Amino acid sequence: MFTDMAVEAARMREETRRMNELLRSLQLALRSPQAEMVDDFMLFLAAIDKNDGENALNFDEKAMMNSILAMMNGGNNGELAADGGKKEA
């Protein structure tokens, strides 16, 4: 009886561990494109602040501009504007 309980407890610990891994994966998958864009932009600003030209040059300005336009237009799951980006914030 005790060994059955120990086996069941080990199985439940393993299942809990797998569920935690799945939850972390889901949270990363659901991370919004805007949050990633803000993170990238903050790295760009930090590189400029530190006079780190190499990292500043790695910043993709065109991708940033496209992300901003997509958010303004409510695309790319941005859903910030339902009026084609014409309404002021």
Helices 61-72/33-49 angle, 10° precision: 140
Number of domains in the chain: 2
Asked if residue 16 and residue 42 are part of one domain, the reply reads: no
pTM for this model (two decimals):
0.39
Q: Are residues 43 and 56 in the same domain?
A: yes
Q: What is the pLDDT of residues 33-88, one digit of tens each?
A: 667 777 878 888 888 888 877 777 777 777 777 777 777 776 555 454 444 445 44
Structural domain including 37 reads 32-89
- 26 with 37, same domain: the answer is no
The values of phi and psi at residue 56, to 5°, are -65, -35
